[in-house]
Amino acid sequence: MTDVAANASPLLSLRGIGKNYGPVVAVRDVDLDIHTGEVVAICGDNGAGKSSLIKVMSGAEEPTSGTMQMRGKDVHFASPHDALEHGVATIYQDLALAPRLSIAQNVFMGSELTRPFVLPFLRLLDKAKMIEESRRYLSKLSVAIQDMTRPVERLSGGQRQAVAISRALRWNADIIIMDEPTAALGVKETALVLDLIRTLKAGGHTVILISHNMRDVVALADRVVIMGAGRKFVDRPIDGLTADDLTHLIMSGNARAA
């Protein structure tokens, strides 16, 4: 994070966030500030509470306690759609794409463009515009696919991530949360996804990343948040930390939590 970002007021602020599932305490009293343009990695061992925390930020789960603010205003996300409308998009590992539908149909799923009314009762999809816009989103991500009518099932894993990110861009998301974006990918595809995230950052987007891959975290993140037993116990710039340092920090958190 730059000094400017550190001094600016946060884009998203969490205060005292807790999440229980019945008797299970998944997240405890987490304060977190996310600033515009930073890439924040959320790390921790299995069961540390990472997914539960991002589910609260993405509107998939309501917090049991605590408050959230966006740009200094209180927000309450009742659903993922609600979070999207506030500018927070989440891309889960399954990417939520429809494999048989085209790239353009996936980018515009749920927010299709229609042509101006010809007749008051007739709303026609503007396929040409959706194709053109989809190509624009993908080229912004430096992904060169010509045919926007190609079904998503014929794309590589990295290209699919690019389609999912394009959908988030289509919603004008300020914050893109990515859950283990490289987990199922090989070396080449992982490199493509890391480049996508760098391109997002260069375009001024804010990325929150859950990752178990410490090399990815060191390569991408400005800041790392480490969780253990539902608590945030590290929140610091990545400067100077190696992948091994991060692994040790996670293990020391586990030892403390045990």
Out of 11, 14, 17, 26, the only residue in the binding site for ligand ATP (CB under 6 A) is: 26
**Smallest distance, ligand ATP to C-beta of residue 40, A:** 15
Q: Are 107 and 56 in contact (CB under 8 A)?
A: no
**Smallest distance, ligand ATP to C-beta of residue 114, A:** 38
**Smallest distance, ligand ATP to C-beta of residue 32, A:** 14
Out of 18, 44, 157, 228, the only residue in the binding site for ligand ATP (CB under 6 A) is: 44
Q: Residue 184 and residue 178: Cα distance in Å, rounded?
A: 13
Out of 1, 30, 41, 50, the only residue in the binding site for ligand ATP (CB under 6 A) is: 50
Residues forming a β-bridge with 19: 27
Q: Are 28 and 18 in contact (CB under 8 A)?
A: yes
Out of 24, 96, 124, 184, the only residue in the binding site for ligand ATP (CB under 6 A) is: 24
Q: Residue 80 and residue 123: Cα distance in Å, rounded?
A: 27
Strands 175-179 and 88-91: parallel
200 touching ligand ATP, by CB under 6 A: no
Size of the site for ligand ATP (CB under 6 A): 11
21 touching ligand ATP, by CB under 6 A: yes
13 touching ligand ATP, by CB under 6 A: no
Out of 5, 29, 47, 101, the only residue in the binding site for ligand ATP (CB under 6 A) is: 47
Alpha helices in the chain (DSSP H): 3-7, 50-58, 80-85, 103-107, 127-140, 157-170, 187-202, 214-220, 243-257
The SS3 of residue 75 is strand
The SS3 of residue 257 is helix
56 touching ligand ATP, by CB under 6 A: no
Supply 187's token pair: 């070396």
231 touching ligand ATP, by CB under 6 A: no
63 touching ligand ATP, by CB under 6 A: no
Task: List contacts with ligand ATP (CB under 6 A).
Answer: 21, 24, 26, 44, 46-52
